[in-house]
């Protein structure tokens, strides 16, 4: 009897694995991923069925429907994005002509470059949160806050207190955090904010088709104050982002404050995420008159996009570079399209550099990244490892006029699975400021040679190759 039950259970698992394999073949984005899932589900469903349930989906279906509905319904879009003088306002802030070489990015995302931005580069956590907390303290109408991670530590409590103070003053405060990224955030932290009048919610998959998914994380970091001050970049809310947690300290990161038309686009990104979670619209006020010279496009990407938009954004920017292309990322696990674009840039004579951390925060990702770094060095790309502490910044510098600061890593999770956001800006003065920052970083970095891989013990090199197999879900 027991043997029959075991045989029936095994047969049921193999049948379920077969159906799941058919689903994987039909819906997995890449042939390599489809083949890997299908083989695993058919041959060893005992080990792959549960991971496929949590990691197998490639589209955030409910969110896709919401985006399509938003595009069809003018009223929803207007409530979050338009205002009566929007057309004349944007006419006064036309983008620089040199933005035209990035037209494919705007066409893909349905976004636009706008001129008239004042940009402020925020280097590291102290400068970033001094600026953000200062802006929150001066809020008169509303504050929109979105981070991947909130921690209940010293910085987390400072942010909590700042939000509670503004809510007590009658300011509308809306907060989004990622349910997986902030998995260890205690309930009392959230309840204290709610009790103080803050509207706070986790970003969760929520709909039944995505209920079990660990993918589709909202990795965006957005703060908007009163509709005219916006912040975007790589930092989350936690003491480690101030460099207070060894062994990764000092923590190296970059954020950006912008004022100008792009703040409306930051609000639009937040509004869609907020509507997905709450079914309501957050407050909105139009941005103030632009007071700078930079042209900026807000690039909001994610698994609801028809294309793999984050990957294509990098490919477009890399192909447009003619003299210089510098990238910084904590996780260097590029897909084939991005790696090919980097190789072609080297062949065009472009100065291509990639700055990576010397210390790992995720061992498996670090192993895979080391193998990709070896491939990059063999292709003529100059790769460096930042010595002082963990490097978490996500910055792109192209030629002498273009810079991007945001939340996007150079890995499959950012390219295809996470909701991400970045400010893509064209202005020579701002690009020069970013270049000076990166030159200081490179001065504290060691070049990576082929011996980093070749000189490693055999078992470690084997581990690198095994880790790279998991690139699609790292």
List residues with catalytic annotation. 219, 221, 226, 392, 394, 399
Cross-strand bridge partners of residue 233? 255
Question: Dihedral through CA 463, CA 469, CA 472, CA 473, nearest 10?
Answer: -50
For every residue of 177-196, DSSP letters joined together read: EETTTTTT--HHHHHHHHHT
How many CA atoms are closer than 13 Å to the CA of 459, on its beta-carbon side?
0
Residue with tokens 């994005």: 81
Of 430, 405, 424, 427, nearest in space to 111 by CA: 424
Distances (CA, A) of 181 to 215, 249, 253: 11, 20, 18
Euclidean distance between CA atoms 91 and 14, whole angstroms: 61
Rounded CA-CA distance 161/168 in Å is 10
d(CA 310, CA 411): 10
| Distance separating alpha carbons of residues 5 and 277, to the nearest angstrom | 43
Q: Give the H or E element holding residue 33.
A: helix 31-43
In 179-268, at which residue ranges do the beta strands (DSSP E only) sit? 199-203, 222-225, 229-233, 254-259
The secondary structure element, H or E, covering residue 460 is helix 458-469
Strand pairing report for 402-406 and 395-398 = antiparallel
Longest dimension (CA), the chain: 80
**Rounded Cα–Cα distance for residues 66 and 412 (Å):** 24
| Among the listed residues 362, 366, 365, 392, the one whose alpha carbon sits nearest the alpha carbon of residue 238 | 392
| Mode of pairing for the β-strands spanning 114-123 and 294-301 | antiparallel
- Give the separation between CA 171 and CA 136, rounded to whole angstroms: 10
Distance of alpha carbon 1 from alpha carbon 225, whole angstroms: 67
* Token pair in block for residue 280: 């309501």
């Amino acid at each position: 009897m027991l043997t029959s039950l075991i045989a029936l259970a095994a047969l049921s698992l193999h049948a379920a694995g077969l159906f799941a394999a058919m689903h994987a073949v039909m819906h997995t984005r890449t042939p390599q991923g489809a083949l890997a899932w299908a083989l695993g589900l058919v041959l060893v469903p005992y080990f792959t069925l549960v991971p496929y349930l949590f990691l197998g989906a490639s589209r955030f279906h409910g969110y896709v429907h919401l985006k399509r509905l938003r595009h069809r319904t003018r009223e929803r879009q207007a409530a979050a994005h338009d205002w009566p003088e929007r057309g004349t306002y944007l006419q006064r802030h036309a983008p620089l002509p040199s933005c035209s070489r990035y037209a494919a990015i705007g066409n893909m995302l349905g976004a636009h470059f706008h001129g008239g931005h004042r940009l402020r580069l925020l280097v590291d956590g102290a400068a970033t949160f001094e600026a953000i907390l200062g802006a929150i303290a001066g809020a008169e109408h509303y504050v929109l806050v979105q981070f991947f991670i909130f921690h209940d530590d010293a910085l987390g409590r400072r942010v909590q207190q700042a939000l509670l103070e503004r809510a007590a003053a009658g300011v509308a405060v809306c907060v989004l955090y990622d349910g997986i990224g902030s998995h260890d955030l205690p309930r009392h932290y959230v309840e204290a904010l709610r009790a103080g009048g803050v509207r706070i919610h986790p970003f969760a998959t929520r709909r039944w088709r995505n209920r079990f998914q660990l993918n589709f994380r909202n990795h965006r970091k957005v703060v908007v104050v009163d509709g005219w001050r916006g912040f975007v970049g790589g930092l989350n809310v936690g003491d480690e982002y101030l460099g207070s947690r060894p062994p990764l300290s000092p923590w190296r990161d970059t954020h950006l404050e912008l004022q100008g038309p792009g703040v409306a686009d930051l609000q639009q990104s937040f509004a869609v995420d907020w509507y997905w979670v709450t079914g309501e619209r957050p407050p909105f006020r139009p941005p103030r008159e632009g007071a700078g010279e930079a042209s900026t496009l807000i690039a909001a990407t994610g698994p609801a996009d028809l294309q793999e938009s984050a990957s294509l954004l990098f490919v477009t920017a890399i192909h447009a570079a003619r003299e210089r292309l510098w990238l910084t990322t904590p996780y260097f696990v590029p897909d084939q399209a991005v790696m090919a674009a980097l190789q072609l840039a080297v062949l065009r004579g472009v100065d291509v550099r990639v700055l990576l951390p010397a210390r790992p925060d995720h061992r498996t990702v670090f192993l895979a990244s080391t193998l990709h770094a070896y491939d990059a060095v063999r292709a003529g790309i100059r790769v460096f490892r930042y010595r002082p502490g963990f490097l978490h910044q996500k910055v792109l510098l192209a030629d002498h006029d273009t810079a991007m600061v945001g939340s996007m890593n150079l890995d499959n999770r950012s390219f295809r699975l996470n909701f991400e956001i970045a400010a893509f800006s064209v202005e020579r003065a701002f690009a020069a400021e970013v270049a000076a920052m990166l030159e200081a970083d490179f001065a504290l970095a060691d070049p990576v040679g082929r011996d980093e891989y070749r000189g490693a013990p055999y078992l470690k090199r084997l581990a690198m190759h095994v880790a790279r197999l998991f690139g699609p879900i790292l």
